[in-house]
Amino acid sequence: MRLPGAVKGILALSLTLSVVQAALAEQAWQVTGKAWEATEEKNWDEVVKLAERSEREWGAQAKKTNDGLSSYPKGEAAKQYANLNELATITMLKGDALVKKGDKDGALAAYYKLVSDYEYGQCWDNKGWWWQPATAARDKITQLQTGKKTPEPAGGEQAWQVTGKAWKAIGEENWDEVVKLAERSEREWGALARHMNDGLRSYPEGDAAKQYANLNELATITMLKGDALLKKGDNRGALAAYRKLISDYQYGQCWDPEGWWWGPASAAKDKIHQLDPSSEQEITIKTAPLKASLKLPGKKGICLTMRDPAKGEKGTWEEHLPRTKAVKPYWNYTWGSQLAPVQPSNVEFVPMAWGAWSNEGLKKDLEKYVVPQIKAGRVKRFLGYNEPDKREQANMSFQNALKYWPILEKLGVPLCSPACANPEGVDDDTVQGVTGTWMRDFMREADKRGYRVDYTGVHWYGGTGATSFKEKLVRIYNKYGKRPLLITEFAPADWGAKTLAQNSHSPEAVLNFMKDILPWMERQDWIAGYAWFSFGQNEPQGTSSALFDRKGNLTACGRYYASITTKNPEGDQSIEPDR
């Protein structure tokens, strides 16, 4: 079909205009640049206008991008999210402009939109670092709702930048600079951080912790101040810093680059105990003694494989039977359901369903290896799945774990819950980098269905701070219906260590940890039992926690572990570290 000449002309003009419009079309970053200029000129109406334009043109796309993220992109990767970054930034500018205009409600709406729709957007500073507008927005929300204003930071720096300088000064052993930076942070952000802390009753979990940026920074830098004063020999000043951290910034947390949170206040309690042992109050829970059916022959156990030497696998009973006997446990387990023919008669074997992937497979395994031992009176309790929340271990969904649980209930003996890598459902330095709420989901649904779970299983691999270990166990006990705990794997570990020399926990520190923790657990009626996990001395992450040396002989930690008995819960406190 031929078009009339006039129509051809109109189409040509239309195409020309489209090309021109495309050429003139601004990008999101250009609109944000104009908003920055308007902010400098204090043209608040123009800032709001530009932000609303960005929202119309790129808001939906930015929100979709944000919804696909679960954490802040790091380093150069952040540049891949250009529109999200621009929307986060310009929405922050809009909120600030509305504050300047006196429109508190409008500003709050802008900040809330930033947090809900563009949380993972970041802003690139020309000095070469990223900052998160959503974090700043949360502070602004707190200020508007409470009336507490944050002082303008000197030099335009944020609290996290000052903390970064303090970390650098720690690395350079410039203790005076650390103290100076900590005191600056206290002047500028201390009041707001204390207000945040006063509004909390427990540690924020997961991403929620990011909402308390200033509190987290003050807790961290106050810890660094105490450590710096300790290095300077000022024990009194260090104690004051640690006590201030506990009283004012207790629920502040520090984000580790490996992806977990740790609580400086817990570390501060350990430091206070070291500096002033008389100040520590016993962390304990008063409960009735365990029921006879739940009581093991003694609390101390050991976890070592007992594989058949004929199968040619590592971890055989030829290697581990002497080690099992050496630490004198009252009970043991091997991560399996089969009782080894060389099992010591004076040690109770506790079988485990390491994982489960079919009803028939699980039933067959139990009927062959476990039920006969229960009938013979040799097996009196059973352990649930091994770290099902960890990809390298049982790697099961909590729904599947629940599906198979009634099969375990039919054994008719006390059952221990699955023992998760992350038993508390929080992101801290004890969970091997495993995140998520597997354990909480399982226990909640098990209770809802009326399933029988007699013990709460716990795995723990943290630092050598005894107080933080005790407090974590108390939280877990209270969280899951106050069931007695079975700590089936625990030992100090440094998951960031790649070589033996990089492990930050000395054998002496681990031995001191044991001398505090083991007698304490022996005194707690709500702790049914515990089993130390003995790393090999050649394993960087846990070399200092080894119970055995490379020749299979007991280390100092191993000798102390062996000395703990029901009749002598303190063990041999005179044992010295290996030299």
Q: Residue 387: pLDDT above 70?
A: yes
Q: How many whole angstroms separate alpha carbon 361 and alpha carbon 369?
A: 12
Q: Residue 274: pLDDT above 50?
A: yes
Which three-class secondary structure state does DSSP give residue 34? helix
Smallest CA-to-CA distance from 185 within 230, 154, 212, 211 is with 154
Q: What is the mean pLDDT of residues 539-561?
A: 96
Smallest CA-to-CA distance from 465 within 263, 169, 225, 247 is with 263
572's CB contacts (< 8 A; 6+ apart) are 559, 560, 563
Per-residue pLDDT, 425: 85
pLDDT tier, 3 (very low <50, low <70, confident <90, very high otherwise): very low
pLDDT tens digit sequence for 312-346: 889 999 999 999 999 999 999 999 999 999 999 99
Q: What is the mean pLDDT of residues 352-369?
A: 91
If you search the block for the tokens 């430091």, which residue do you land on? 271
Element (H, E) at 180: helix 175-198
User: Chain-centre distance of CA 345, in angstroms?
Assistant: 40
Per-residue pLDDT, 9: 43
CB 333 within 8 A of CB 352: yes
CB 221 within 8 A of CB 254: no
Q: Which of 23-32, 213-222, 282-291, 292-301 has the lowest average pLDDT? A: 23-32
CB 133 within 8 A of CB 158: no
Which three-class secondary structure state does DSSP give residue 531? strand
pLDDT tens digit sequence for 115-162: 889 988 988 654 445 678 887 887 788 778 776 554 454 456 888 889
CB 146 within 8 A of CB 108: no
Which three-class secondary structure state does DSSP give residue 17? helix
Q: Where in the chain are the domains?
A: 23-149, 162-279, 303-563
Per-residue pLDDT, 5: 45
Q: What is the mean pLDDT of residues 175-181?
A: 95
CB 442 within 8 A of CB 395: no
CB 454 within 8 A of CB 416: yes
Q: Which of 15-19, 24-28, 481-485 has the lowest average pLDDT? A: 15-19
Q: Residue 13: pLDDT above 80?
A: no
Structure letter (DSSP) for residue 1:
-
Give percent of the chain with pLDDT exceeding 90: 63
pLDDT tens digit sequence for 490-507: 999 998 889 999 998 999
Beta strands (DSSP E) in 346-392 are 348-349, 382-383
Q: How many whole angstroms separate alpha carbon 392 and alpha carbon 394?
A: 7
Q: How many whole angstroms separate alpha carbon 396 and alpha carbon 65?
A: 30
Q: Residue 358: pLDDT above 50?
A: yes
pLDDT tier, 234 (very low <50, low <70, confident <90, very high otherwise): very high
**Tokens encoding 448:** 């809802």
Q: How many whole angstroms separate alpha carbon 300 and alpha carbon 102?
A: 65
Give percent of the chain with pLDDT exceeding 70: 91
Computed on alpha carbons and rounded to an integer, the radius of gyration of the chain in Å comes to 29
Q: Residue 23: pLDDT above 80?
A: no
Per-residue pLDDT, 208: 76
What is the average pLDDT score of the chain?
Answer: 88
Per-residue pLDDT, 22: 38
pLDDT tens digit sequence for 56-100: 999 999 999 998 887 778 766 777 888 999 999 999 999 999 999
Level-2 CATH architecture, domain 162-279: Alpha Horseshoe (1.25)
Per-residue pLDDT, 74: 72
Smallest CA-to-CA distance from 62 within 134, 137, 132, 119 is with 119
Q: What is the mean pLDDT of residues 268-281?
A: 76
pLDDT tens digit sequence for 241-269: 999 999 899 999 887 655 567 789 888 88
Strand 331-333 and strand 254-255: pairing? unpaired
Per-residue pLDDT, 572: 96
Q: What is the domain class of 303-563 according to CATH?
A: alpha beta
Q: What is the mean pLDDT of residues 548-575?
A: 96
Identity of the amino acid at 124: W
* CB atoms near residue 235 (< 10 Å): 13
> What fold, for 23-149?
1.25.40
Per-residue pLDDT, 10: 38
* CB atoms near residue 262 (< 10 Å): 21
Q: What is the pTM of this model?
A: 0.66
Q: Residue 466: pLDDT above 70?
A: yes
Q: Residue 21: pLDDT above 50?
A: no
